[in-house]
Amino acid sequence: MQGSKLATEKGSVSDLACLLGFTARRIYQFAQDGMFSIEDGKVNLPEAVQSYIGALRRQVEGKDEKAEEADKDKRIAEAKLKQANADIAELELKELQGKMHRSEDVETIMMDILFSVRSALKALPGRLAVDVAAAENAAEASKIIEREVHLVMSELSEYKYDPARFKELVRERRKWERKEAETDEEDS
């Protein structure tokens, strides 16, 4: 019988405040938020306490869900970071094995080739001047020039890919990168 009496027991806002450890003002705020109702300064104590406990339980469950979601997001971010680091390591390995080249290394090699072509072409007038001047006619001068141009083109066609040259460029660049990283660490 006491259980049924307790289920409908009314108490004052001050009684509920004392039970829950809040001020009366806070109890009125809970009522305004719809947690329970207050009629004529009285409140159903068991119902209000259960409502408050339910609100706390929902709040804790919500925090647990948010924590799980944050943990899941963290694991996904860590997995992406590990995958990115693995991709970088794979690319660096290919680079060190000479299976892949950075654009700046290819550019350096191409510039070397272009400077060779430029030097060979700039040397042509000096190499041809005496022979062309001694030619008896334009056809003979043309043949002399053509022979020298073919010689320059033949020298260029003999260019061979040199993996050692690329490896040298990679080693130099990696030394620079390490030095820059050490400088950045010292500055920090």
Query: What is the C-alpha to C-alpha distance for residues 163 and 181, in angstroms, rounded to an integer?
Result: 27
Residue 27 and residue 16 in contact, taking contact as beta carbons nearer than 8 Å? yes
Query: What is the C-alpha to C-alpha distance for residues 20 and 36, in angstroms, rounded to an integer?
Result: 14
Could you tell me if 105 and 67 lie in one domain? no
- Provide mean pLDDT across the span 145-158: 87
Q: For residue 146, which amino acid is it?
A: E
pLDDT category of residue 161 using cuts at 50, 70 and 90? confident
Residue 55 located in a structural domain:
yes
Of 30, 78, 24, nearest in space to 52 by CA: 30
Query: What is the C-alpha to C-alpha distance for residues 125 and 133, in angstroms, rounded to an integer?
Result: 11
Q: Is the pLDDT of residue 54 over 70?
A: yes
Q: Which residue has the tokens 């869900």?
A: 65
Could you tell me if 60 and 110 lie in one domain? no
Could you tell me if 109 and 66 lie in one domain? no
Domain count within the chain: 2
Residue 78 located in a structural domain:
no
Give pLDDT, residue 1: 38
> pLDDT tens digits, residue range 57-98?
888 777 777 778 888 889 999 999 999 999 988 988 887 777
Query: What is the C-alpha to C-alpha distance for residues 155 and 68, in angstroms, rounded to an integer?
Result: 68
Give pLDDT, residue 6: 52
Mean pLDDT of the chain: 84
Of 31-40, 88-97, 158-167, the least confident = 158-167
Alpha-helical runs (H) found in 98-187: 103-134, 138-157, 163-187
Domain hosting residue 38, numbered range: 2-71
Higher pLDDT, 170 or 20: 20
Residue 143 located in a structural domain:
yes
**The whole model's pTM is what?**
0.42
Give pLDDT, residue 76: 92
Q: Is the pLDDT of residue 150 over 70?
A: yes
- Provide mean pLDDT across the span 54-59: 84
**Helices and strands (DSSP H and E) totals, the chain:** 7, 2
Give pLDDT, residue 144: 92
Could you tell me if 183 and 111 lie in one domain? yes
Residue 53 and residue 62 in contact, taking contact as beta carbons nearer than 8 Å? no
Could you tell me if 111 and 55 lie in one domain? no
